[in-house]
Amino acid sequence: MTRRFVRWLNDMKIRNKLIFFYVIVVMVPVLIVGLIVIQYFRQDALEKATEQTENNVQRIKTQIENQLNVPISVSNQLLLDRDMERVATTVYPPDDPIQLVNAYRGYTDFSDYLRAYSEIKGIQLFTDNPTLLNNLQFMNADSAIQSADWYKKAMGKRTIYWMYIEDLNNPSSISGKQLSLVRQIFFPNTGKRSVLVVQVDTDYLNSLLSQEPFDTMVADEDGYIVAAKDRSTIGRTLGDMGFEVAVGDREQERTFERAINGMDYQVSINTLIPDSSTSGLTIVSAFASSSIVHDANRIGLIGAELIIFILLTALLAVYFNSRLISSRLLKLNRNLNRVAEGDLGTVSRIDGHDEIGQLSEQFNYMVSNINELMSQVYEASETNNRLEVMQREIKLKMLASQINPHFLFNALESIRMRAHIQGEKEIARIVQLLGKLIRRNLELGNRHTSLKSELDMVRSYLEIQKFRHGERLHYELAAELDTLLVLLPPLIVQPLIENAIVHGLENKEAEGIVSLHAVRVGDEVLIDVIDNGAGMTPERLRQVEESIRDKEENEESRIGLRNVHQRLIMTYGEECGLRISSELGKGTQIYFKIPAGRDE
């Protein structure tokens, strides 16, 4: 058999032999592969068409749900609207309509919501109040309204219904009805119940559905079509359209085939039940199966043409692409080597926006980030060096001026005079406080201290000042328990107290009061110092604020306040600096805030 086949081939002309082998080796495999590809494309097109339909329905469902969330949110806010309750439940005198008109004019929430949200078309509140005049917002629930199906449902249960009801604002619309949110509103102050109706603007839904490539409808729980691609179907029922489906089934989400008007249709159904709602909407999409088969056949033909084209161009395309890819990768590799050798000025210039082009862009971005990070590290190093120098300077100035010499002299003189006049017990206490204060100042370092420790120091300082001034000075220290362990730089609070006494109360003959409060506000601690001293004029207050913010000292600077302000902003940032408010003749308040964390 083999010998005969070989002999037959040997007897065949070369031209026929080439044609034969071309048919056997090329044509037959191509035909087989082509048939397989066509069948694959056909089946794939069918599956993708169905999947696309389901995805489109799901997308429409999500967009509708987003739109319905707006009237739900508005109705939730109106549940707590006491002004609406007042307007709706007030009994207005029939002989004085001005009172009712003024009440309507004074209540603008409905109009505000309509202006703010394009998703809603109207808002009405139906209340059993015969003294109301219907203004298309506040409506008297007369017997006709109370006998309506939607009104009865809403009054029967406190939940949200989505219903296709009469459009009282525009009775001449397509069907005279409008998709609306209907829910009961309970007024706790009067015990009355009303029904709120928020109309959904279905123009957006119709516009959305008009862009779909197939017939799509949205129906309420009774099967009434509230929005559709074909607007002529609005107001009809799904049964009228040939879709006898059980709407309102929460579990219903399926695709099936249905014969309609003699044609096979693929029907996709999805049910939407918005949050807090009892009823919902059903989304129905339908398309003719023949259109899908037609598209699948067309795609299959295109696939066959592509196979033939690919066979003819594959080798050339592979050669060209492999050469292009390798040359671009080699160029990128050379750039990487240059960066590895330390040349951070390298810029990769590779054309295209494919993966290699994106790698080139990311390479440039990486090099730019490295340069920026190196610059930031350098700047941070310079900033840290400057900060350390400033900290050392501040520490030296703090050590040099921890105890005001004038204060120390007056305190010691007062101790001497009181010892001479009264005896030794109180003197011993003051001397102990003074020693504690001096020792505390000498022991201060760079480490943070607790607010409790700062307040102990302030209390010692105030007791000594009270010893000097007697009943002319009173003070109050109040700190919440959860603020006492908060850490802050040392000598932050005491200079503020000293400033209040020296500049605020020193020359005050009447009773002087200094108070300090520390309270927790969220994740921060607010500390303020208040005195009832002389206060400052606005011009003087502005000068003081400028002096403490000046990074360079000058003769007019309040060094204590400036040091405190500069250390606060260096430690916590600009937002934690000192804030000052003062009024001439009434006193001054200085306050600041720090993070409530207990770590340095």
Query: In this model, does residue 236 exceed pLDDT 50?
Result: yes
Question: What b/e string do you get for 475-499 counting C-beta neighbours within 10 Å, with b at 16 or more?
Answer: bebebeeebeebbbbbbbbbbbbbb
Give the integer Cα–Cα distance in Å for 530 and 497. Answer: 9
Residue 316 has pLDDT above 50, yes or no: no
H-type alpha helices, 341-485: 355-400, 405-421, 425-442, 451-469
The share of the chain scoring above pLDDT 70, in percent, equals 76
**Could you read off the pLDDT of 571-593 as tens digits, one per residue?**
888 899 999 999 988 899 999 99
Using alpha carbons only, give the angle 414, 416, 422 rounded to the nearest 5 degrees.
90
Is the pLDDT score of 407 beyond 70?
no
Which pLDDT score is estimated for 477?
93
Give Cβ neighbours of residue 517 (< 8 Å, ≥ 6 apart). Answer: 478, 479, 526, 527, 528, 530
Q: What is the pLDDT of residue 241?
A: 78
For the segment 393-406, the average pLDDT, to the nearest whole number, is 52
Give, for 126, the enclosing helix (H) or strand (E): strand 120-127
Q: How far apart are CA 216 and CA 230, in angstroms?
A: 8
Q: Is residue 534 part of a domain?
A: yes
Give the pairing type, strands 120-127 and 253-260.
Answer: unpaired
* Domain assignment of residue 569, yes or no: yes
pLDDT of residue 5: 77
Question: With bands split at pLDDT 50, 70 and 90, how would you rate the model's confidence at 308?
Answer: confident
Q: Please tell me the predicted confidence (pLDDT) of residue 8.
A: 82
Domain extent for 529: 448-595
| pLDDT band, residue 315 (cuts 50/70/90) | very low
pLDDT of residue 599: 54
In a domain, 529, yes or no: yes
| Residue 111 falls inside a structural domain | yes
Handedness of CA 496, 498, 499, 504 (dihedral sign): positive
Looking at the chain, the whole-number percentage of residues with pLDDT higher than 90 is 21
Digit-coded pLDDT (tens) for 135-179: 888 999 999 899 999 999 999 988 999 999 888 766 555 557 889
pLDDT score for 558: 57
Query: Total domain count for the chain?
Result: 2
Boundary-marking domain end, from 254, 274, 289: 289
The encoded tokens of residue 288 equal 């003719």
Residue 147: which CATH number? 3.30.450.20
Q: Domain holding 525: CATH number? A: 3.30.565.10
- pLDDT tens string 352-384: 777 777 777 787 878 788 888 878 777 767 656
If you search the block for the tokens 């850490």, which residue do you land on?
Answer: 487
Range from 184-188, 211-215, 299-303, 443-447 that averages highest in pLDDT: 184-188
Secondary structure (3-state) at 513: strand
Range scoring the smallest mean pLDDT among 140-154, 199-213, 325-339, 509-523:
325-339
Own/partner contacts of 373-382, CB < 8 Å, gap of 24 or more, are: 374/344
Which residue among 289, 313, 328 closes a domain?
289
Angle between helices 425-442 and 451-469 (to 10 degrees): 140
- The answer to the question of residue 354 being in a domain is no
552 vs 55 pLDDT, higher one: 55
**Closest of 230, 204, 201 to residue 215, by C-alpha:** 230
Domain presence at residue 133: yes
Residue 288: other Cβ atoms inside 10 A: 15
Most confident of 198-212, 247-261, 351-365, 547-561: 198-212
Asked if residues 568 and 592 have their Cβ atoms less than 8 Å apart, the reply is yes
Q: Which of 312-326, 381-395, 415-429, 502-516 has the highest mean pLDDT?
A: 502-516
Tokens coding 486: 């908060």
Residue 72 reports pLDDT greater than 50: yes
Q: Is residue 409 part of a domain?
A: no
Amino acid letter, residue 387 = L
Please give the DSSP secondary-structure letter assigned to residue 503.
I
User: Which of 256, 272, 289 represents a domain boundary (last residue)?
Assistant: 289
**pLDDT in the model for residue 452:** 92
Residue 555 confidence (pLDDT): 44
With vertex at residue 212, the alpha carbon angle to CA 235 and CA 201, rounded to the nearest 5 degrees, is 45
Cα separation of 340 and 334, whole Å? 10
Residue-wise pLDDT for 539-573, tens only, equals 999 999 988 887 665 544 456 788 889 889 988 88
Task: State the chain's mean pLDDT as an integer.
Answer: 79
Residues in the chain: 600
Q: Per the domain annotation, does 349 fall within a domain?
A: no
User: What's the CA gap between 237 and 223, in Å, rounded?
Assistant: 5
Give the per-residue pLDDT at 278.
83
Beta-bridge mates of residue 218: 227, 283
In contact, 200 and 119? CB cutoff 8 Å: yes
More confident residue, 280 or 151: 151
Give the per-residue pLDDT at 126: 94
- Is the C-alpha dihedral spanning 394, 399, 405, 407 positive or negative? positive
CB 143 within 8 A of CB 128: no
Tell me which residue has tokens 């590779």: 350
